[in-house]
Chains A and B, each alone.
Chain A
């Protein structure tokens, strides 16, 4: 058996940093998430709302405001995020593009439900400072067409089924259509309400943690 060592170099003995860790300027000066059209994603109390199957770009500026001397990494599960390439300098910051996993990639329930997750980000410094970790809360939304598409697909299936079992395919009556639309709207609203309740709970938890830090 052969043990395969990691390709990362064994770090040489590091000099002691005199600055206490709590004062070290390791946290980013700012960061932002941008969509495929380079629009900034605005935060909400629950997190940044990202759509499944889309590509986003994370840009981070450190307190030194330079792109050299540090690296940006996104260490999220592959089922959630897939990074396209290593980070790259982008002016005085570093940027990283990533895709949110498609709704069908792992769990079919992702088609209709949203999910609150967090993206773990790590800043690795070349000068021997300890790495800095932080998490960006995100809401992975189901694609807005999925719910409508599922409605059409179900309606089409229903129409085809009627054709097969009734031998004379016909358009659904207004009553059937209304009934079906109502049922679908109820499901749609149910899903929406369920998401909002989840978000509300999450937001309340976050606010309460800020009001009483002992909860964290």
Chain B
């Protein structure tokens, strides 16, 4: 459909004689303006489409906010800047998501930061716990088998520093003894050649202190030091300090895993600790869940800040997270939680990207004055910008549009001319009058996305790939729906494929996303009135605090109607792996063992494989089976139905929230009923997974 910006007049096609060869070459290539919607995650061609000059002032200010939290000499609590919020407002399609990607990629200066971009919001979960889970999810999602992620960099930096201090803490005689263990005992016994040995230690410390591109293993190899003793030394250094408090135990546990990771242990050991291990503390009275979460978050935050790696929370598309129009059930806990975190924790910047109208609605009726005042305080003392609390992204100008066109055309022109300079205007085949017409008069500039759509259409027209169309008649509702299905389907398949890849790699850390997807899915089915032979869901809600464990204590509640009877179902996911599996099952079974239960029946889905035959509990590993038997003996068994499913069967639930957000951005005119119906059609067979057996 041609863009409305171009329908005012019909453009003249480019004369055939003008760069005829180039025109012919461009006709055989993809339209460089066909990408005008930023996906939720930065895509591979981010660098190609990024033009630093666009929204430069905003980018500079936001980069300064990030830099405010990159502290060169952090030592004391008071060195940490206060947490703050910056609200970035802009029209839909102005480039907010692209700005988020630029911050994630640190397109400005290339210095690393941990840019966490939550895709879901769980109002029932305590806000700090939600933030912690988002950080863990971020760390998991950036993991790559080939390149080291943030966690690896952090582990490496931490271990190097711990080793430096351990080596410094060794007396010369300890060092000699370490060297003598590898030979030359008698020489050192009589003090011969000790100076050379001391020099060796000095060199090793120097190499460990250098944060170059050498890995720990390479430093060891260069210094002819065995890998294993150094690991022991680093662990000794960590364990040399007393850790009787809850915070001390959690920190020591985290440091232990980081040292392990730096010396080659799988990163899953760290994830397991961040999701479960930190709850296993030695205390006479089990500490509150909030205490455990707070301490772990603080430990992780401080470690990142010490490594000059700020953790920024980028909440993009607030309208997707908090509902459009804003849903008070989502907004109130969100802003209350945010305000509480601003009060109680230092060192965290929050950037909220919101549509102008949406933010105004939020301010008007959804944010309490308690929260609003804290949000309005902003991020204070941003170098070169003072206090920043609110910014507005401006529309694109003709000059900026020209830069975008030149940037997107450059690779094609280079390819054709096989040179960096070429005998054609940098915006060829477009002309300045095209850009001026798209941008319209000052004050009436379109949002960036609309301008890019217009460029795409004009480009095709210039090349003669498409003829300018007169404004089309409004299509009928049926035709409009039919036209919508194609992008919905394409996006669905894309997200489903990604979700399957994630689940095939392991679903241990996906509990929050899966439950969010499960809830959204149930809401879609309920809205569409889907039922199967066993009944139908009639209401749904997530309950992350049904059990005591911060990660495993989560279920999705569902009212299930079969005929005239309605039952309260709980849907749980048995995602814990290896050592964590018995704890996961124990948490779930404990919910159903007490007199006050969150549901009448718990459907426990175990992503183990669909090829198992019932009774599924007989296939549980020995430790987990023992846990099952123990609760079964107490009479909990009939209240829990364990079912095995293939991990990829969970993919629709993992994909759904991302798909929904993506569609909200890409296809804003798709009505909720169409989306609900689409989801119901795609996923109705999944209802069998949660339908209670009689």
Chain A residues within CB distance 8 Å of chain B:
15-29, 42-49, 63, 132, 134-137, 199-200, 203, 206-211, 213
CB-nearest residue of chain A relative to B185? A207
CB-nearest residue of chain A relative to B172? A43
B140-159 Cβ-contact flags toward A at 8 Å (1 or 0): 00000000000000000010
CB < 8 Å: which of B161, B166, B174 contacts A210? Answer: B174
Most buried by B among A42, A43, A135: A43
CB < 8 Å: which of B185, B233, B251 contacts A45? Answer: B185
B-chain residues with CB within 8 Å of residue A21 when the two chains form the complex: 241
B680 CB to closest chain A CB (Å) equals 51
CB-nearest residue of chain A relative to B174? A210
B177 interfacial by beta-carbon distance below 8 Å? yes
B381 interfacial by beta-carbon distance below 8 Å? no
A42 CA to B190 CA in the complex, in Å?
Answer: 10
* Total A-B pairs, Cβ < 8 A: 110
CB < 8 Å: which of A16, A25, A209 contacts B177? Answer: A209
Question: Can you list 13 A-B pairs, Cβ within 8 angstroms, ordered by A?
Answer: A16-B77, A17-B77, A18-B79, A22-B165, A22-B241, A23-B158, A43-B194, A44-B176, A45-B173, A134-B169, A203-B180, A213-B232, A213-B233
CB < 8 Å: which of A19, A29, A45, A208 contacts B188? Answer: A45
B-chain residues with CB within 8 Å of residue A19 when the two chains form the complex: 74-75, 306
Q: Are A43 and B255 in contact (CB under 8 A)?
A: no
A25 CA to B165 CA in the complex, in Å?
Answer: 6
CB < 8 Å: which of B76, B162, B177 contacts A23? Answer: B162
B305 interfacial by beta-carbon distance below 8 Å? yes
CB < 8 Å: which of A27, A47, A207 contacts B165? Answer: A27
B-side interface mostly: helix
A-chain residues with CB within 8 Å of residue B195 when the two chains form the complex: 42
Q: Are B80 and A27 in contact (CB under 8 A)?
A: no
Most buried by B among A18, A25, A136: A18
A20 CA to B232 CA in the complex, in Å?
Answer: 18
CB-nearest residue of chain A relative to B167? A27
B237 interfacial by beta-carbon distance below 8 Å? yes
A28 CA to B169 CA in the complex, in Å?
Answer: 7
A-chain residues with CB within 8 Å of residue B79 when the two chains form the complex: 18
CB < 8 Å: which of A18, A209, A213 contacts B76? Answer: A18
Q: Are B190 and A15 in contact (CB under 8 A)?
A: no
B671 interfacial by beta-carbon distance below 8 Å? no
Question: Which 3 A-B pairs have CB atoms at the shortest separation, nearest pair first?
Answer: A44-B191, A27-B169, A27-B168
B482 CB to closest chain A CB (Å) equals 59
Q: Are A18 and B185 in contact (CB under 8 A)?
A: no
Q: Are A203 and B189 in contact (CB under 8 A)?
A: yes
Given contacts A136-B173, A203-B180, A206-B177, 11 further A-B contacts (CB under 8 A): A15-B77, A18-B79, A18-B80, A22-B255, A43-B191, A44-B188, A46-B189, A134-B171, A136-B171, A206-B174, A210-B181
B483-520 Cβ-contact flags toward A at 8 Å (1 or 0): 00000000000000000000000000000000000000
Q: Are B181 and A20 in contact (CB under 8 A)?
A: no
A54 CA to B74 CA in the complex, in Å?
Answer: 45
Q: Are A45 and B168 in contact (CB under 8 A)?
A: no
Q: Are B180 and A18 in contact (CB under 8 A)?
A: no
CB-nearest residue of chain B relative to A33? B172
A-chain residues with CB within 8 Å of residue B171 when the two chains form the complex: 43, 134-137
A-chain residues with CB within 8 Å of residue B168 when the two chains form the complex: 25, 27-29, 63
Most buried by B among A22, A24, A25, A203: A22
B-chain residues with CB within 8 Å of residue A211 when the two chains form the complex: 181
Q: Are B302 and A210 in contact (CB under 8 A)?
A: no
A199 CA to B185 CA in the complex, in Å?
Answer: 13
B238 interfacial by beta-carbon distance below 8 Å? yes
B-chain residues with CB within 8 Å of residue A47 when the two chains form the complex: 173
Q: Are A137 and B238 in contact (CB under 8 A)?
A: no
A26 CA to B162 CA in the complex, in Å?
Answer: 12
Decide: A17 near B76, CB < 8 A? Known: A27-B169, A43-B194, A44-B190.
yes
